[in-house]
Amino acid sequence: MEIIILASGSKGNAMNIKSNNSNILIDIGISYQVLKSKLKENMVDIKSIKHLFITHEHSDHIKGLQVFLKYHVDVTVYLSLGTYESLDAKTKELLINYVILKSDNTYEILNFKFETYGLSHDAKEPLGFVISSNNKKVVIATDTGYIDESYFDLLSNADFYLLEANHEPSLLMDSSRPYYLKQRIISEKGHLSNHEASYLIDKFIPNDKKAVWAVAHISEDCNNLHLIEKSIVRIIKDPTKVDVLFTSQTTSKVVKI
């Protein structure tokens, strides 16, 4: 599989996954023109994308959806019922082909197997995805303040993780953000901290395996790469089992597994 993280952060999220001749898009939180440009930079024809998966309805995950649907009427969009119900009327009108996904289910799309699970975020019905193809396993877990232990087996032993390490709590609490926003971010319906993300990676990746961790949704003002690395070294018992990739709001990151 080839994974292209087109953008990750509070200003927009999108990622492309290719396996053989199959091509899917996860989230579309950047403008249509930016999406088209970023795909072209990575030699992906936007017309080749026929399947789009949405994790939840926040604007940094669906910003480009309405315009995309205007130009690509043949695309099938996959989303939860809660996410669908949260879309505005104009977007629903353009949404001709769609599939309602349920948590804790398995779906076969092209040559991918999708397993869905519930995330804990202040959205109506956010979903995470475990995607398998050609004996490779990808876990997508971004925009969540908590991951229930009942999903640990499902999420373990993957080859690639898109897992957020959004903030360092001390920087967040010392920031100028309003108190209610700080409380939202650190809550179980908010975002994972560096410590929490590193703890999960240590749990998910067995000691006899190596995996890629694409650190996602990094706060621009309440986190930095040095603090993330400190958490990794302090918490992950064997940091050598993790190849760490820091995602970016502006620069695409490409991983082949």
The set of residues, in sequence order, having a beta carbon less than 8 Å from that of 43 and lying 6+ positions away, is none
The whole-angstrom distance between residue 185's C-alpha and the CA centroid of its chain comes to: 17
- Please give the helix or strand (H or E) that residue 194 lies within, else none: helix 194-204
Q: Where are the domains of the chain?
A: 2-256
> Which residues have a Cβ under 8 Å from the Cβ of 30 and sit 6 or more positions away?
6, 7, 12, 13, 14, 38, 63, 64
182's CB contacts (< 8 A; 6+ apart) are: 172, 173, 175
Structure letter (DSSP) for residue 193? B
The structure tokens 């303040």 sit at 145
The reply to whether the predicted model has a pTM over 0.85 is yes
State the DSSP string of 56-89: --SHHHHTTHHHHHHH-TT-EEEEEHHHHHHS-H
Q: What phi and psi, each to the nearest 5 degrees, are found at residue 102?
A: -115, 145
Under DSSP, the state recorded for 250 is: S
pLDDT at 21: 85
pLDDT of residue 40: 96
Contact between residue 156 and residue 206 where contact means Cβ atoms under 8 Å apart: yes
Do 235 and 195 contact (CB within 8 A), yes or no? yes
Cβ(17)–Cβ(24) under 8 Å? Answer: yes
pLDDT for the residue 9: 96
- The fourth-level CATH superfamily of domain 2-256 is Ribonuclease Z/Hydroxyacylglutathione hydrolase-like (3.60.15.10)
Phi and psi for 141 in degrees, rounded to 5? -140, 85
Q: Which portions of the chain are predicted below pLDDT 70?
A: none
Contacts (Cβ under 8 Å, ≥6 apart) of 207:
237, 238, 241
Helix (H, G, I), strand (E, B) or coil at 170: helix
